[in-house]
Homo-oligomer: A and B are copies of this chain.
């Protein structure tokens, strides 16, 4: 197992080789996920459960708020399996959950669940009504006061329909996005997604304040983590943004906020880590998103895939049916700098599927 460099140099990730990581899962719900067929990250009609179940499975290997592990209609297993398998083979020192507006609190003990008094964000085709400035400041101050004994933080997300809100966010902030955003589907349900995004953008006025725009078209995860990134510079925390185009959107928001206030960021201790499925996705282009940043960014993609697995449900990843989530790209990059054996990892993931 190894990783490829999308942007920047290998040095940052190489420096973290063998070092200790805290894994933070940003678990959030946007009611945008209620739009039929907009995402396959979970059980139709119950997508709001996905981040709760992902948090439970990651921490305990048990799904408690539902009987079975969340599986999509075509049977694509949640990427939480990948992240959990990495955790079993070379444990993160610490896992903490960020409740960024969940419907259901994960049923777990001992693990820290940070509550920020947030509600699920609204449907973006209905003017999401997010308290964007407030949520941004919560992320900012959480990061400023965040303390860890570990060497770096892996910041992951679980928010169904999050690529739709990420795409709308980047468009509202005037980034070039055509064909750049990923989807949990292989055959990107472009009609539904695009129509949702178009409806969302109708409400956005060109000259509004950035936080006004975010309040209409974004989600709690993106806004909070943009704050987190900026706040984390106070203590120069090393942060791996574990995710695909949604995490790219977090960085684009950071970029726009900096621009709006003529600010700068030392981004040398921040990197984005994603999967091969995102990096090689023909229907999206994470590199093109990241190249629009005005600050340099390190970005890496794991080279892990399921070509050495014979499990049909896992093969769906290689076929593009699922690509990212629950920080699996970051976890796979972490695996590659902590000498996890590829076959052992595949066997561990398969063992969860029975």
Q: Is A19 an interface residue (CB 8 A)?
A: yes
Q: Which of B18, B59, B94 contacts A87 (CB 8 A)?
A: B18
Known: A18-B87, A337-B91, A338-B91. A60 touches B109 (CB 8 A): no
B93 and A18 contacting across the interface, CB-CB below 8 Å:
yes
Contacts of A90 in B (CB 8 A): 18, 339
Q: Which of A26-77 contact B (CB under 8 A)?
A: 59-62
A190 interface residue per 8 A CB criterion = no
Q: Check A91 against B339 for contact (C-beta < 8 Å).
A: yes
A104 within 8 A of B: no
- Report if A59-B11 is in contact (Cβ < 8 Å); known contacts: A18-B87, A90-B339, A91-B17: yes
B12 touches A109 (CB 8 A): yes
Given contacts A10-B60, A14-B59, A88-B339, 19 further A-B pairs with CB under 8 A are A9-B60, A9-B109, A10-B62, A11-B59, A11-B109, A11-B111, A12-B109, A14-B61, A14-B110, A14-B111, A15-B59, A15-B111, A17-B87, A18-B87, A18-B90, A18-B94, A19-B93, A89-B339, A110-B268
Query: What are 21 A-B residue pairs whose CB atoms fall within 8 Å in the complex?
Result: A9-B60, A10-B61, A10-B62, A11-B60, A11-B108, A11-B109, A11-B111, A12-B109, A14-B60, A14-B110, A17-B87, A17-B88, A18-B90, A18-B91, A19-B91, A19-B94, A88-B339, A89-B339, A91-B339, A109-B268, A110-B268
